[in-house]
């Protein structure tokens, strides 16, 4: 039976890696499509959706909450390091939920790095990230940002339950 365990682990790890890559790719595609739409549709006006939610085009050369203006290249390099670390963490296996969570974070980080590479700006990774989802009481954000936050929360939750399961006594 122990001879089958490594094969199952490899198959399971491969399946989880494929799921993570698929989620990340979907996030990048949806993020870039929505940003492209926002740049074209919101260039001269806002769209009120419901309550305080409006679609309002802004460009962010910094990091979260428009802080760190001009630090885009550093933020991009840190994001790429985080992506690599998260992808390497998949080798250890995990749950389907953790694979989805990593995919959300990786896809969100990659979506914003794509903006830094291809959007107008100055220098290495100096492009600005397109933000357009505006609650008017929270900083303006985009699909990639939302996926990073949701994925991060899911990672914390799965880590918590994983730690509780591994530390609980077995009967």
Residues taking part in catalysis: 131, 145
- Strand ranges (E), 47-150: 47-50, 53-60, 129-134
Helix (H, G, I), strand (E, B) or coil at 93: coil
- Burial (CB count within 10 angstroms: exposed 0-12, middle 13-18, buried 19+), residue 23: buried
Q: Are 158 and 98 in contact (CB under 8 A)?
A: yes
Tokens describing residue 3: 């001879």
How many Cβ atoms are within 10 Å of 59's Cβ, its own excluded? 17
Nearest-5° Cα angle at 56, 36 to 148: 65
Using CA atoms, how far apart are residues 82 and 64, in angstroms rounded to an integer?
A: 16
């Amino acid at each position: 039976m122990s001879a089958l365990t490594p094969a199952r682990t490899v198959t399971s790890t491969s399946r989880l890696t494929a799921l993570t890559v698929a989620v990340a790719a979907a996030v990048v595609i949806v993020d870039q499509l929505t940003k492209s739409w926002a740049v074209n549709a919101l260039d001269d006006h806002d769209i009120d959706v419901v309550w305080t939610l409006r679609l309002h085009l802004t460009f962010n050369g910094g990091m979260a909450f428009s802080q760190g203006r001009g630090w885009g290249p550093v933020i991009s390099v840190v994001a790429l390091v985080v992506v690599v670390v998260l992808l390497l963490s998949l080798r250890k296996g995990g749950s389907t939920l953790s694979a989805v969570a990593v995919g959300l974070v990786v896809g969100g980080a990659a979506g914003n790095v794509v903006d830094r590479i291809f959007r107008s700006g100055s220098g290495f990774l100096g492009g600005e990230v397109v933000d357009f989802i505006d609650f008017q009481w929270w900083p303006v954000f985009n699909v990639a940002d939302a996926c990073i936050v949701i994925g991060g929360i899911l990672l914390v939750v799965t880590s918590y339950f994983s730690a509780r399961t591994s530390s609980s006594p077995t009967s």
